[in-house]
Amino acid sequence: MWKYIRQYLFFAVIAGLFMIGEVMMDIIQPGIMSRIVDDGVLGVNNGGAPNLRLIWMLGLQMIGLVLLGGLCGSLNNVFVHISSQNIGNEIRKDCFCRIMDFSFPQLDRFGTGSLVTRVTNDITQVQTFVSLFVRGMIRTSLLTFGSMYFMFRLNLKFGLIVLCAFPFLVGVIVWCLWKANPLFSSLQAQLDSINAIMQEDVSGIRIIKACVREAYEKRRFGKANDELIKTQLKTLVIFAFMNPLTNALMYVVVTVILLAGSFEAGKGSTTPGIIMAAITYTTQLLNGILMLVMLFQNISRGVTSWKRVKEVLNSRPELMDGSFDGVTKVQGEIEFRDVSFSYPGSSQRVLSNINLTIHKGETVAIMGTTGCGKTTLASLIPRFYDADTGTVLVDGIDVRKYQQKALREKIAVAMQKSELFSMTVGENIAWGMPGAESTALKSVASIAQADSFISSMEEGYGTAVAERGMSLSGGQKQRISIARAVLKPAEIFIFDDSTSALDLKTEADLYQALKKSHPDSTKIIIAQRIASVRTADRIVVLENGSISACGTHEELLKSCRTYQDICHSQIGEEAECA
């Protein structure tokens, strides 16, 4: 935290100084008021004769002090906000950068909802914590201890009466904070759930409507919200009891001071003005303590949030970079050496003893039933995850030895789920290679069989794409994603089921064009349709995470039962298969 505070310490210190000014004005006033009453109105030291001139003079002095106090207060506010907003801004930027550097296992572990809460709500809590700390802590502690000091100066007995009330107040406060603290952690975790449901449901609203599951999702969201409110209410109830308790204590102290004051006044050792000032100081002091409690409440919440933000900030990428810069003699060779893999935190083995070598320029297809581990196998090549045992080599070098950036520069991926951004079609294609020439965009779009549909759009490559590609069809999105991958000067291309929405002819034309334009690149095609893979140099059949067969279409038709089954199950191709 110090790292961030240090940068804006100057503003925080200035804010603190203005705060001292504001509080000083508050503390001086009861003293002046007591003089107005005793010397101005009652004429205690003047044989009971009121002094109008003194009332005017002290009254104007008081107004001046109020104005000066107000100015100090406003300036304090300005500087507090400058420091807290900037500190929040720096933390938010750092958090975002850290998340961008996260490895896939970390992203899986934190979850999107939680990361969003941490970068938004949690950082706002930290921001509030900083501003309350700078403003509130200084104000309340100065007010409390200043009032206490002046109280003792006015009358020792009055000071002692207030001091006696202290342990009770502290007891009430500590009890409330002890009860509320665990609830703050639950509150933030519940906010995580709400954010996760919000994201899922807003992005998946179409499928929710299609399946008529609105009522179910409303209930799910409602339930998460109810839980949040329940916890929030619990904390509010705790603090709701605290206010009347501390208020009651304040009035007890005021009454005792009045009783002691009347006794002292009778003896002539105090004056009505001093009793008035003592009561004002008591109110100020106890109000100060009340504010301190509110502060503690917010600060406890801020500390809980800060812990959650710190978890993000302190997380180092789990997959550490190697030192190899990626310059190799061979280019486009992949080898899986006895690779096994399970997802972090899961005991289920997704890949078992994979041994496979893919040569430069080869087109290798990976087939298999859904969930058998095709995407997982491909994701080990750009090192999205590390294998549990065995080694994945790219161009003869273990992927763990590469600088991740250098490794990923060799590989272009069109993911199973096309990810488009809310920018133009052209910008989406050029997204991985900013500054690419328009001719290059057109050329890769032609390879991806996308040029004709893009050109036929009113604004062509300048057509805006709606958020997450909502304004495009599934096949159009896939082709733009492929064009984006092909634009990258990569050695290895991975197409993960990325032509599944294309008709057979468009798909065949796409692979044909790709073969022609990138004859020396290695291509990995993950697909479910025989038509997509039959022209590949080799087809790997995956079954429950193991390679059950590998060969050309013709070889597999003769030797692999699973492949024959897949082939025969694809109606319309049966005749061709045979």
Ligand X SMILES: Nc1ncnc2c1ncn2[C@@H]1O[C@H](COP(=O)(O)OP(=O)(O)OP(=O)(O)O)[C@@H](O)[C@H]1O
Calpha distance 563→578 (Å, rounded): 12
Residues of this chain, 450-509, that bind ligand X according to CB under 6 A: 497
DSSP H or E run through 330: none
C-beta of 169 vs 531, nearer to ligand X: 531
Question: Minimal distance in Å, beta carbon 496 to Mg ion?
Answer: 6
Any contact of residue 140 with Mg ion (CB under 5 A)? no
Shortest distance, position 497 Cβ to Mg ion, whole Å = 6
Tokens of 503: 């008709």
Query: How does DSSP assign 84-107, residue by residue?
Result: HHHHHHHHHHHHHHHHHH--HHHH
**376 binds ligand X, rule: CB under 6 A:** yes
370 binds, among Mg ion, ligand X, none (CB under 5 to 8 A by kind): ligand X
Q: Count Cβ atoms below 10 Å from residue 576 Cβ, excluding itself.
A: 11
Cα torsion 487, 491, 497, 500: sign: positive
Residue count, binding to ligand X (CB under 6 A): 14
Stretch that binds ligand X, among 59-67, 121-129, 261-269, 373-381 (CB under 6 A): 373-381
**Candidates 29-37, 269-277, 315-323, 373-381; binding stretch for Mg ion (CB under 5 A):** 373-381
The candidate with the shortest Cα–Cα distance to 99, out of 372, 313, 292, is 313
Q: Which is nearer to ligand X, 93 or 417 (CB)?
A: 417
Contacted by 322, from ligand X, Mg ion, none: CB < 5 to 8 Å by type: none
Nearest alpha carbon to residue 72 among 132, 148, 21: 21
| Locus of tokens 């933000």 | 309
Contact pick of 391, 416, 535, 570 for ligand X (by CB under 6 A): 416
Distance of CA 178 to the CA centre of its chain: 27
Gap between the Cα atoms of 492 and 479, Å rounded: 18
Query: Which range, of 189-197, 364-372, 470-478, 532-540, touches ligand X by CB under 6 A?
Result: 364-372
Other Cβ atoms within 10 Å of 508 Cβ, number: 17
Give the x-and-dash track for 382-421 against Mg ion (CB under 5 A): ----------------------------------x-----
* Contact string (CB under 6 A) for ligand X, positions 56-95, x = contact: ----------------------------------------
3-state secondary structure of 411: strand
* Dist CA 197 CA 323 (whole Å): 40
Counting contacts by CB under 6 A, is residue 103 touching ligand X? Answer: no
What three-state secondary structure class fits 315?
Answer: coil
Tokens representing residue 507 in the block: 């798909």
Question: Based on CB atoms, which residue is closest to ligand X, 296 or 341?
Answer: 341
Cβ 542 to Mg ion, closest distance in Å? 10
- Note whether 483 and 429 are within 8 A (CB): yes
108 lines the binding site for ligand X (CB under 6 A): yes
Q: List the one residue from 371, 396, 462, 474 that touches ligand X (CB under 6 A).
A: 371
Half-sphere exposure for 26 (CA within 13 Å, toward CB): 27
Closest alpha carbon to 72 in 29, 13, 22: 22
Q: Is the dihedral of CA 498, 501, 502, 507 positive or negative?
A: positive
Give the Cα separation of 329 and 72 in Å (integer): 70
Q: Is 347 in the site for ligand X (CB under 6 A)?
A: no
What is the DSSP annotation of 553-568? HHHHHHH-HHHHHHHH
Distance of closest approach, residue 416 Cβ to ligand X, in angstroms = 6
User: Is 127 near Mg ion (CB under 5 A)?
Assistant: no
Pairing of strands 522-526, 492-496: parallel
Given Mg ion, ligand X, none, residue 239, with its beta carbon under 5 to 8 Å by kind, binds: none
Query: Which residue number, 117 or 498, has a Cβ lying nearer to ligand X?
Result: 498
The answer to the question of residue 83 lying near Mg ion (CB under 5 A) is: no
Query: Shortest Cβ distance from residue 415 to ligand X (Å)?
Result: 10
CB of 89 to ligand X, least distance (A): 32
Report in angstroms how near the CB of residue 184 gets to Mg ion at its nearest: 40
Rounded to whole angstroms, how far apart are CA atoms 152 and 139? 20
For residue 144, state whether it binds Mg ion (rule: CB under 5 A): no
Q: Please identify which residue in 147, 375, 446, 449 interacts with Mg ion, judged by CB under 5 A.
A: 375
* Least distance to ligand X, CB of residue 417, Å: 9
User: Which of 323, 370, 452, 456 touches ligand X (CB under 6 A)?
Assistant: 370
Query: How many CB atoms lie under 10 A from the CB of residue 395?
Result: 23
Query: In the range 306-345, which residues lie near ligand X by CB under 6 A?
Result: 343
Shortest approach of Mg ion to residue 371 CB, angstroms?
A: 8
**What SS3 state is found at 450?**
coil
Q: Among Mg ion, ligand X, none, what does residue 372 contact (CB within 5–8 Å per kind)?
A: ligand X
Work out what residue 376 binds among ligand X, Mg ion, none; the CB cut-off runs from 5 to 8 Å by kind. ligand X
Identify the helix (H) or strand (E) that includes residue 47: none
Nearest to 542 by CA among 405, 369, 330: 369
Does 376 bind Mg ion (CB under 5 A)? Our answer is no
Number of Cβ within a 10 Å radius of residue 183: 19
Contact 113, 196 (CB under 8 A): yes
CB atoms within 10 A of CB 53: 8
Which of 177, 224, 350, 533 binds ligand X (CB under 6 A)? It is: 350
Q: Does 147 bind Mg ion (CB under 5 A)?
A: no
Nearer to ligand X, 346 or 456 (CB): 346
- Name the residue among 481, 332, 350 with its Cα closest to residue 419: 481
Q: Does 354 bind ligand X (CB under 6 A)?
A: no
- Helix-, strand-, coil-residue percentages of the chain, each rounded to 5: 65, 10, 20
Q: Is 379 in the site for Mg ion (CB under 5 A)?
A: no
User: Shortest approach of ligand X to residue 492 CB, angstroms?
Assistant: 18
Binding of ligand X at residue 372 (CB under 6 A)?
A: yes
Query: What are the φ/ψ torsions at residue 490 (nearest 5 degrees)?
Result: -100, 160
Decide: is 544 part of the binding site for ligand X (CB under 6 A).
Answer: no
Residue 497: CB minimum distance to ligand X, A: 6
518 binds, among ligand X, Mg ion, none (CB under 5 to 8 A by kind): none
Where do contacts with Mg ion occur on this chain (CB under 5 A)? Answer: 375, 416
Where do contacts with ligand X occur on this chain (CB under 6 A)? Answer: 108, 343, 346, 350, 368, 370-376, 416, 497
